[in-house]
Chains A and B, each alone.
Chain A
């Protein structure tokens, strides 16, 4: 069992992320325990990781509603270590959100411009 101290989000936490690996397996089957996270990150991250053809299995659970953590398990087909797929999933998710943000802001600007020009033409 190895613990990784990575601070992913702000907050007063000792560990944000842990990796749990059963003895005897190599690095392509890993369970990540993400603290202070829930379905918001869990489901969207699971979707991004599942879109990768190298993934054999990816799933997540919330361990108990009183505990604010999720277990995310990744099993790969053998070529890549699971950690790399996890990182790739996170990066892809960030890219998606950035693109959605840019598109949304452009669309809001368009809407405001259209509304302004419609108000002008009314007068």
Chain B
């Protein structure tokens, strides 16, 4: 009985010991465990697999994937970071730049600005094609000139009062439709995602006048094409109390974990500790600094339960990355 439990633990949990982590690697391959049929079975996988979206808004996505292995979950993460295409500024044609920001620095900053355009509606630019056509390029114009404000107070030292157009934001970028793009994309669709990104600062007499070409690319080529800010996952924590913990020890136990993980309840006049929500724990391992309590708790993670948290910049189709791995 105990042996069977130990085997189950080895197969399904990654155990965090005081000085090391055990059972890290996936071992459920055919032939490793007698009595288990570990050969790949698509039906069994489909029966056990589930996805639960916890939170989704325009900037972030948090969901749980249960019943999949690290190799594949990691492949999704890698693809999301490096191989899902987006549109970003690639070529900057500078007509006039008398600002204090050098041409190449300015061009680098413009490349990193996220562009609100669905990359699936565009093609990759052919290698060696310098001009770009309407099917693979988006054009933006940035034309800002800073002047002195004639109506400012005489003794003012606030740049917002003294100068006009001294801060160049992404809202100063205007889209220049190529070919039939004006018919395909309604007004306001093609723009930078955020209109309050500061690109450069100017003083009177300085001007920035340039034309930008956006192309489709992937994160592998340059990080500016990556559609996510951070793409991470963690395994679901699994905290087990090996003995009942009561009284003052229960309060101590509660303080050793992140708030909300351990709950202390009053049962028949005594305080009893209970694991309420292990998902919230960040595994600071504070419990191992407590000589009495470290023997009472087993810290582990569920091997096939992935809590994925993706922060997204701009528009991306989350399903895009899954089709990339398949195709």
Contacts and interface: CB of A to CB of B under 8 A. Distances in A.
A40 B75 contact: yes
Given A94-B326, A100-B51, A104-B319, A53 B72 contact: no
B52 A107 contact: yes
14 contacts: A39-B78, A40-B75, A40-B78, A44-B71, A44-B74, A46-B71, A97-B326, A99-B42, A100-B72, A100-B322, A103-B49, A104-B319, A104-B322, A107-B50
Interface residues of A, number: 34
Contacts of B82: 40
A107 B42 CA distance: 20
B205 to A, nearest CB: 47
Interface of A: 9, 12, 38-41, 43-44, 46-48, 50-53, 92-101, 103-108, 110-112
A52 B39 contact: yes
A40 B83 contact: yes
Given A92-B40, A96-B72, A103-B51, A51 B318 contact: no
B49 A40 contact: no
A52 B319 contact: no
Contacts of A38: 78
B159 interface: no
Contacts of A93: 72, 325-326
A51 B38 CA distance: 7
Given A51-B39, A97-B325, A108 B53 contact: yes
A96 B323 CA distance: 11
